[in-house]
A and B are shown apart, each in its own frame.
Chain A
Amino acid sequence: MSCTDKETCTCTPAGSLPVDGEASPGIEAGRRAFIKAGGAFATIALTPTVTLMSFGGGKANAAQESLDPKARWGLLIDVAKCGTGCSECVSACQKENGWQDTGHPETDAQWIRKVTVKNPKSGAVAELPVMCQHCDEPPCADVCPTGASFKRADGIVLVDKHLCIGCRYCMMACPYKARSFIHETLIDQKPYAPRGKGTVESCTMCVHRVDRGEIPACVESCNLTGGGAMMFGNLNDPQSEIAKRVAELTSTQLRPDLGVDPGVHYTYL
């Protein structure tokens, strides 16, 4: 549901409602400056393989009115580059979203974790990050009784905590153990990552950053200080870096046999 009729919408003061995709006057100045700086800034200050390149050329919006329903945000993880013992992605996620290790691994939330996979026959070992796979047909969304667990039009799977009753059925249903339940009262949450006792949560693909035109914290940190194994982008845009790589490399998804079509792809697994 979105307000498109300026006459009947009572949310915004008259005159400041966005007209045909333009932002209200107050934002325009800031946005113009940001866009000007954004392109140059990204190519110079950040390493070339990431960020704006991964977007397939989309403009960076400071504040958007709605998501892009034609996009499908996804991740591509190069397992060969994922370093042994490196957990930059985990630390970055913790810092960005405000969850941490309190010494109780069984009840602590974990949005992303490093999994060590060993082939028992050959002895080969690999490490890779596992997080919510943002499936195209998420079992968690199918089973949620209130509809709190849902998939956004742009492919990001979220928990609408206004509707979550904490029944944990989605945690039973997730094949990837992606979801965590919050077992205690929380204080001083990050403003862009609301989380509270009695509800279920999981990796949001840093939706608050994606909506600003940025990339998830894990991808950013992996490329800045980690092994450069993670890439983010729009899988539906054939011009995007991620779509091209998925098309040309042999990549796989976790448990593809389940048919849920995760948005996270792994190469060299």
Chain B
Amino acid sequence: MARIIYREARSRTFLWVFMALMAALVVTGLSSAWYMEHHGHIVTGMNNGIVWGLPHVFAIFLIVAASGILNMASLASVFGKTTYKPKARLSGLMSIALLVGGLSVLVLDLGRPDRLTVAMTSYNFKSIFAWNIFLYTGFIVIVGAYLIVQMTRSWMKWTGAVGTFAFVWRLILTTGTGSIFGWLVAREAFNAAMLAPLFIAMSLSLGLAIFITTRLLLDYGCGDRSLGTELIERLAKLLGIFIATTLYFQLLMHLTNLYSAARGGVERFLLVEGGIYPLLFWGGFVILGSLIPMALVFLPAFNRNRMMVGLASVLVIAGGLASIYVIVIGGQAFPLNIFPGMEVSSSFGDGQIQHYIPSLPELLLGIGGWALAALITLVGVKILPILPVEDNVTLNAAAAAG
């Protein structure tokens, strides 16, 4: 098999323009964060009922996707699928980029972001949140090591070991992220062990969707053609499997809740009566984000077409955002059940659906996180040898060899 050569991305106007745009969005994100911190969270749509809003939806999306996007590299290093080997470096870089983007949104939305040093030095190890801090920072270090090992000739033999370590770490990390919600006894929409595997499934589908979209964009921007027809079809079908798995876990979680009389109320709220939430769940996640993309990736009419597969990926991304919105915000909107079976009312919103209208600073902060991830990716491919050349040659040679 021909040895793969990696190089830095060629300078193209498209690349520079995109980088400038991302940098501008990062600056708006930072300004929003400053605005929110200076005036207090009164300027956002978050309140004492909905305490985690749009920034957290974006942050969780980015963090979950960060873990999943490393899958391309894991397929190569851990599972020996050499077809994906050329993708491994980009996958690793984007994993770090997405995680940094997500973490920055999370940290900047804190009530006291100036207390980050406190968060880094004072830990309560009963809290899954505290564990996540280690898991996230450790992940950045490990994937960084993984990239270095791949780029250094004398250390290449360690790729498999470090890759496996990263793979296991990533599973633990995503379990931890899902368990932030899964381990809350108070909320009826959460408190399910299923949230951890659901987040792992989501990470796989979102990660691959983002990878495909980015790779197609980079191809366009750099004038490459790294995703040949064979590979596109394979990736499309893989995406289809991940979408199906995510859909399965989501439906199973809701079905289980529906079966319990106690949780009938919250399920009716999320799936039928809650206004925006059923709309986002059924329209956004199920139809736009799962069924239509699955049709696109499984039907032979579409799954060899780069545009269609790209479209499917974008729809999966949108569906992923919608489903995280329903989970995080819908889960908080339903009132706590302090007096089971009773109708309650008070001056503090007991018994009432909590309202939330996302505000502009929150949206700009979330988008800023996305832009930061994109910026890191672009700068990374520009200064490091990440993108492979002769990708198609490698693939075709491997196919010809049998």
Contacts and interface: CB of A to CB of B under 8 A. Distances in A.
Judged by CB atoms under 8 Å, the answer to whether A and B touch is yes
B346 A163 contact: no
B283 interface: no
B317 to A, nearest CB: 26
A146 B112 contact: no
Contacts of B350: 113, 115, 130, 177
Contacts of B52: 168, 172
B3 interface: no
Contact of A144 (B51, B112, B127, B180): B127
Contacts of A113: 346-348, 350
B40 A145 contact: no
B338 A254 contact: yes
Given A116-B346, A120-B342, A181-B51, A176 B127 contact: no
Q: Chain B: interface residue count, which band?
A: 35 or more
Given A105-B349, A117-B344, A173-B186, A181 B127 contact: no
Contact of B48 (A116, A120, A181): A181
Interface in B1-60: 37, 39-42, 47-49, 51-52
Contacts, number: 171
Contacts of A172: 51-52, 184, 186-187, 332
A180 B124 CA distance: 21
Contacts of A152: none
Interface in B55-69: none
B397 interface: no
Given A175-B185, A183-B47, A167 B110 contact: yes
A139 B40 contact: no
Interface string B79-113: 00000000000000000000000000000001111
A198 interface: yes
Interface string B116-132: 10110011101111100
Interface string A135-174: 0000101111111000000000000001111111101111
B41 A181 contact: yes
B192 interface: no
A254 B346 CA distance: 16
B348 A116 contact: no
A152 to B, nearest CB: 15
A183 B42 contact: yes
B342 A118 contact: yes
A174 B186 CA distance: 6
B172 interface: no
A107 B42 contact: yes
Contacts of B349: 105-106, 177
Contacts of B123: 145-147
A164 B129 CA distance: 14
Contacts of A182: 40, 111
A184 B47 CA distance: 11
A74 B342 CA distance: 25
Contacts of A139: 184-186
A112 B187 CA distance: 21
B186 A105 contact: no
B186 A184 contact: no
B343 A168 contact: no
A183 B38 CA distance: 10
Judged by DSSP, the binding face of A is loop
B111 A168 contact: yes
Contact of A145 (B41, B47, B119, B186): B119
A4 B280 CA distance: 60
Contacts of A163: 115, 118, 122
Given A118-B343, A163-B118, A169 B49 contact: no
Interface residues of A, number: 54
Contacts of A164: 111-112, 115
Contact of B127 (A108, A119, A142): A142
Contact of B115 (A109, A165, A179, A181): A165
A97 interface: no
Max chain A Cβ within 10 angstroms of own Cβ: one of B113, B115, B332, B355: B115
Nearest to B345: A116
A254 B186 CA distance: 12
A255 B262 CA distance: 13
Contacts of B347: 101, 105, 110, 113-114
A223 interface: no
Interface in A178-205: 179-185, 197-200
B127 A169 contact: yes
B145 interface: no
A147 B116 CA distance: 14
Interface string B177-192: 0001001111100000
Contacts of B128: 143
A177 B41 CA distance: 18
A171 B48 contact: yes
B339 interface: yes
B348 A146 contact: no
A106 B186 contact: no
Contacts of A177: 48-49, 336, 338, 348-350
A258 B338 contact: no
B227 interface: no
Contacts of A175: 185-186, 336, 338
B124 A107 contact: no
Interface string B325-356: 00000001000111111111111111000110
B133 interface: yes
A198 to B, nearest CB: 3
A123 to B, nearest CB: 10
Contacts of B49: 106, 177
Nearest to B331: A172
Contact of B40 (A101, A114, A118, A197): A197
10 contacts: A106-B355, A107-B42, A145-B130, A164-B112, A165-B116, A168-B111, A169-B127, A174-B186, A177-B348, A183-B47
Interface of A: 101, 104-110, 113-120, 130, 139, 141-147, 162-169, 171-177, 179-185, 197-200, 254-255, 258
Those 8 A-B pairs whose CB atoms lie nearest each other, nearest first = A166-B111, A198-B111, A147-B124, A175-B186, A145-B129, A106-B47, A183-B42, A168-B51
